[in-house]
Amino acid sequence: MFTGIVTDVGRITALEHRGDLRARIQCGYATDSIDMGASIACDGACLTVVALGEDWFEVDVSAETLSKTNLGRWTQGRRVNLERALKVGDELGGHIVSGHVDGLAEVVGLRDEGDSTRVTLRAPEALARFIAPKGSVALNGTSLTVNEVSGCDFGINFIPHTKQVTTWGDVAMGDQVNLEIDTLARYVARLAEMR
């Protein structure tokens, strides 16, 4: 489990196709504190550490994960949002995030509002019903509050701090971003269907 509070921005330094995709990610974490088999959210996808070095870790990305996320678009040099798994007693500053990406949302609008940036995203129709104003979503692993919703489109406001400590300062029109809907919204909708 994660909180959607990004704790490091890593950089892809190597990619190798070997059945699955093996990715090496340079990071600022003290890698001697990372266990083999640990879970790290990489742009919102929960991945398992399979190798470690002085300032990097490696993960295998399965075909299933590649089909549901933007990780198949990773290139060498790309920056990625990272979060280590939640430990009992850690502060829950965002919301409960599983690291199981539900689908891709597309950036369809960008505009500056003061020092912040308002981003409009389009969710797949099957997921849009789970997104509500003032509700939570995880986008590329970042816990965010939804400002407004119109059909499949929803708006997020990125303050300067978020743009500085995540990859959201690099956002561009047409970007495909990993979307994880709020777990609570999923269960509320399921209960409503059962009535």
C-alpha dihedral, 29 to 32 to 33 to 36, nearest 10°: 100
Q: Is residue 120 part of a domain?
A: yes
Q: Please state the domain count of the chain.
A: 2
Helices (H), 110-159: 125-128
- Average pLDDT of 130-142? 95
Q: Which residue has the higher pLDDT, 54 or 182?
A: 54
What is the spatial distance between Cα 151 and Cα 65, in angstroms, rounded to a whole number? 27
pLDDT given for residue 94 in this prediction = 79
Residues 44, 111: one domain?
A: no
Mean pLDDT of the region 88-97: 78
Do both 69 and 140 map to the same domain? no
Decide: 152 and 128 in contact? Cβ < 8 Å: yes
Average confidence (pLDDT) over 52-64: 97
pTM to 2 decimal places: 0.93
Least confident residue range of 8-17, 37-46, 91-100, 156-165: 91-100
Whether residue 117 sits in one domain with residue 80 = no
**Mean pLDDT, to the nearest integer, of 13-25?**
94
Please count the CA atoms within 13 angstroms of the CA of 140 that sit on its side-chain side. 26
* pLDDT higher than threshold 80 for residue 98: yes
For residue 195, pLDDT over 80 is answered with no
Question: What CATH number does the domain containing 164 carry?
Answer: 2.40.30.20
Q: Quick one: 112 and 146 in the same domain?
A: yes
Higher pLDDT, residue 92 or 99: 99
CA end-to-end distance (rounded Å), the chain: 30
**pLDDT band with cut points at 50, 70 and 90 for residue 13:** very high
**Is 44 among the domain residues?**
yes
- The domain of 74 spans 8-84
Whether 3 is in a domain gets the answer no
Cα distances from 78 to residues 11, 36, 72, 129, in angstroms, run 6, 24, 12, 31
